[in-house]
Copies of this chain bind each other. A is one copy, B any other.
Amino acid sequence: MLLVMHKDATKEQIDAVMAAVEKLGCTPRPIPGGMRVAIGILYNKGPVDRGHFLSLPGVQEAIPVTRPYKLVSREVKAQDTVVDVGGVPLGNGHFTLIAGPCAVESLEQAMTIAQKVKDAGALIFRGGAFKPRTSPYAFQGLGEEGLKILAKVREKTGLRIVTEAMDSTEFDMVEHYADMIQIGARNMQNFSLLRRAGHCAKPVMLKRGMSSTIDEWLMAAEYIMEAGNPQVVLCERGLRTFAVHSRNTLDLSAVPVVKKESHLPVIADPSHAAGHREQVGPLSLAAAAVGVHGLMIEVHHAPHEALSDGGQSLYPEQFSALANDIRRIVEVVNPGCPEVCRS
């Protein structure tokens, strides 16, 4: 933290600020400048509250300097983390396709779609059993019945399973059936859920909240890692902005930034960002080109009959063609990537 003093701050004010820094157990370092003094705060262990200092007389600005996160940072672990999703690697040197319907609706629906996405090269199957819905009157998912269907899909196809848990009670159940547990965008700062995920022996996919900064997203991952689980996959799924032509604005610039700051793998979910089928293909290719470690794409064999999000689901044949183009783009940006969603 750097404290910038007012041009006309008095010596007494400066001394009082330095005393306040020392009181926190940190070391103040005055930096006399051309027109004003600044005071660096050194040796702070955790985050320091800006407001604490902004309210002291004579302080004009308090500027954070160091990153608030530790375990997720490349400064702590330089080499890329590869997450193990029931034997399927996700991360450095691999490109992993995840696909499936928004919600599990029946065994027949799930198996039909699973077979098709497997044929197209997906290694992990997605499908919601517990659905976060804006309206209490909308379809909320099949619950444990949905989880059992997902387990059967794994048994029959060999695809690994990722599905969402929305609270701690569900978490136990989801952990039992799934290979990776998803924490949704709306729960990115549900700190109880993050702590529960930290006690999980399976990997966690953490979606970025739609109004979260990268720092907040990495701090949410830090909660999980700090509680004991090093297997975190980050998933960019779009920001809430004023633009309404897509459901959210996919923030692809976050990908190189996260890859620079953190060793954790980062994937994208273009389906939820777009909200419209015709944007999903182009955004998937864009995400592959920007350097994600994988993609999660919604596919449905009969979108018009889907119980949720049908309008953003690809037809299986669209997904199959798209997977081909994705592979070719991954070969351009990451030549020799060994697992390029082999089909």
Contact = CB atoms under 8 A, between A and B. Distances in A.
B250 A239 contact: no
Interface string A211-245: 10110100100110011000000000001111111
A287 to B, nearest CB: 7
A93 interface: no
Interface residues of A, number: 110
Contacts of A260: 278
Interface stretch (A106-114, A117-125, A301-309): A301-309
A39 to B, nearest CB: 10
Interface stretch (A47-55, A81-89, A142-150, A152-160): A47-55
B241 A134 contact: no
B52 A310 contact: yes
A40 B301 CA distance: 27
Interface string A266-292: 000000011111110011011111110
Contact of A254 (B29, B243, B251, B310): B243
Contacts of A66: 4, 35-36
A326 B320 CA distance: 23
B190 A68 contact: no
Nearest to A16: B304
Contacts of A20: 304
Given A134-B216, A245-B214, A308-B49, A169 B166 contact: no
Contacts of A42: 33-34
Interface stretch (A173-181, A199-207, A328-336): A328-336
